Amino acid sequence: MPLERLYCAVTPHGLGHGAIACQVINALARRRPGLDVTIQGDLPADWLASRLEVPFRLIPQGSDFGMIMDSATRVRVAASAAAYRHQAADWRRILVAEARRIRAVAPDLVLGCIPAQSLAAAQALGVPAVGLGPFHWADILDAYCGDEPGMDSLIALMREIYAGCDAFFAPQPALPMADLPNLVPVGPVCRRGRPRGPELRAALGIAHEDRLAVVAFGGMASGIDVWSWPEQPGWIYAVPRGPETPRRLPPHMVAVGDDKGCPLPDLIASADAVITKPGYGTLTEAALVGTPVLCQERPDWPETEGLLAWTARHVPLEMVSLEALGPGRVGRLLRRLMRQDAPWPRPEPPDGAEQIAEALVARYGG
């Protein structure tokens, strides 16, 4: 049976999982013109529209939340454990609700990036299901809450669900996930930006001689008062527009969004530096185009070590504390970052989204 109808369930834990899913959907749609796409997850519809090349229906509901966060880098461990315990007690009702949503769409395939609940419902319905992500939530939950009461059985269930998928595609760099017999490593999955320096600078009103630093924390509040950063001669900060954006911006800052024709991957490819956290999307986007990275420390996140090691092989990378990103210090950190002058080999890995799309068409029919 041809693959005609796709149901993609996405964890709304920031925007990184959605960014990965969109790349795979686009690659698959190029091979299956007319592909019917439903996305399930509490993600901004306008953001999805800016990333997807095909029409889609959005179901802004779901049971998955990833981890409960105080900021882009701070996990609320006790609150996360409590929320997962509640889900474990309510698991049957959750699966019924997820199955109802999937059954209403009648998809040929469920792609889970990476809600265990949706994948479990698909498996119960007998709908082909594949997982997608550089990690899965069982590993993250185990790292933060594995010692909390009642977590062992839920973590084991989640591992069983991920292992029960037809395949689990792991865009590199990824956690080892050695517990998955169905693991399929692929190249990085991210939107590779186009360098459009002069065009974007003109659109944003940035002088040619000024350097541009893009501030990107993966769709979550950073916990950093970016707007209090003082002016640094020769630097302009580009910050994604959000609820905290002031009505009047300091002269050394610009608020960016797709309404100005400035998609974040193109901004990263056109910038002199990126200021971010350890997160898959922004770091891979920066490394693949050679943009130096000033990165907030995040030592407790399981993905951090491998992700930073991979990034540091390809671009200048400076790790700094949350306190170091306070007012008056960022300019010095950027100057230090720009002084790194070692040769940086540009990575040329295979495109993971294309690899996944080829595999899906081969397995489920073209």
Both 208 and 227 in one domain: the answer is: yes
Residue at 345 is within a domain: no
> How many whole angstroms separate alpha carbon 286 and alpha carbon 291?
5
Residue at 94 is within a domain: yes
Residue at 344 is within a domain: no
Mean pLDDT of the region 203-224: 76
Residue at 123 is within a domain: yes
Residue at 343 is within a domain: no
Looking at the chain, the whole-number percentage of residues with pLDDT higher than 70 is: 93
Residue 47, pLDDT score: 87
Residue at 346 is within a domain: no
Both 355 and 268 in one domain: the answer is: no
Residue 332, pLDDT score: 83
Residue 34, pLDDT score: 94
> How many whole angstroms separate alpha carbon 270 and alpha carbon 210?
12
Residue 19, pLDDT score: 92
Report the mean per-residue pLDDT for the chain: 89
Looking at the chain, the whole-number percentage of residues with pLDDT higher than 90 is: 58
Both 182 and 249 in one domain: the answer is: no
Residue at 135 is within a domain: yes
Which of 140-149, 160-169, 309-318 has the highest mean predicted lDDT (pLDDT)? 160-169
Over residues 318-347, the pLDDT tens digits come to: 888 877 776 667 878 888 888 876 667 776
Both 35 and 133 in one domain: the answer is: yes
CATH number for 119: 3.40.50.2000
Residue 259, pLDDT score: 52
Domain range for 212 is 197-338
Over residues 230-247, the pLDDT tens digits come to: 788 888 888 877 667 767
Both 31 and 53 in one domain: the answer is: yes
Residue 248, pLDDT score: 81
Strand 293-296 to strand 167-171: parallel, antiparallel, or no bridges (unpaired)? Answer: unpaired
> How many whole angstroms separate alpha carbon 314 and alpha carbon 294?
14
Both 185 and 216 in one domain: the answer is: no
Residue 220: pLDDT above 60? no
Both 203 and 172 in one domain: the answer is: no
> How many whole angstroms separate alpha carbon 238 and alpha carbon 264?
10
Q: Could you tell me the CA-to-CA distances from 203 to 14, 196, 208, 209, 262 in Å, in that order?
A: 27, 11, 12, 15, 8
Both 245 and 125 in one domain: the answer is: no
Q: How many separate domains does the chain show?
A: 2
Residue 168, pLDDT score: 98
Over residues 83-135, the pLDDT tens digits come to: 999 999 999 999 999 999 999 999 999 999 999 999 999 999 999 999 999 99
Residue at 61 is within a domain: yes
Both 213 and 176 in one domain: the answer is: no
Both 233 and 263 in one domain: the answer is: yes
Both 9 and 46 in one domain: the answer is: yes
- Whether the pTM exceeds 0.85: the reply is yes
Residue 222, pLDDT score: 53
> How many whole angstroms separate alpha carbon 50 and alpha carbon 135?
25
Both 225 and 144 in one domain: the answer is: no
Residue 218, pLDDT score: 57
Residue 89, pLDDT score: 92
